[in-house]
Amino acid sequence: MSTDQDQAPEPVAATDERAAREPDWWHRDHPTFTALTGFFTGLAFVILVPGLFIGLLHLVLDDETAEGLFPFVLVMLAVPIGLVIAPRTRRFGGYMLTGVLVTALVVGGVAALVLWYMISYEG
């Protein structure tokens, strides 16, 4: 048996296939990629999930029942909390939870400011 058989190179197709599946440097090692994707995922999550949830409830159920079931949308907070608990996704989940909380605070603050303005100057 020769050493050439022991040291046989990998087939080129297998190497190319593996390289195509692996994330590139930006997705794997860039220090801000996880922070940006987590934060903006949290932002989109807090805006889209409640809207889609109430929209689907109104399509399937009558208005009174849909409004009664709307508080169950708070179960959505289990997703970022679950990501924070899991060791592999802890960093992404933390940034996602930050995006959710910051978006909720900004929306609540702007709503309070607009309500105060309307009551003070328009009312």
pTM: 0.70
Domain boundaries, the chain: 12-122
Note the pLDDT of residue 76.
86
pLDDT at 2: 56
- Between the two ends of the chain, the Cα-to-Cα distance in Å is 94
Positions of the chain with pLDDT lower than 50, given as ranges? none
Amino acid 27: pLDDT: 63
Residue 87 tokens read as 């060791």
DSSP string, 24-49: -HHHHH-TTHHHHHHHHHHHHHHHHH
Query: What pLDDT score does 66 carry?
Result: 87
Contacts of 65 (CB under 8 A, 6+ apart): 57
Please write the tens of the pLDDT for every residue from 85-113.
Answer: 999 999 999 999 999 999 999 999 999 99
Q: CA 46 from chain center: how many Å?
A: 9
What pLDDT does 120 receive? 94
Q: What is the largest CA-CA distance in the chain?
A: 94
**What dihedral do alpha carbons 53, 59, 61, 64 form, nearest 10°?**
80
What was the pLDDT predicted at 34? Answer: 87
Which tokens is 62 given?
A: 């009558």
Distance CA(117)–CA(57), nearest Å, equals 33
Give the residue among 86, 81, 116 at the shortest CA–CA distance from 101.
Answer: 81
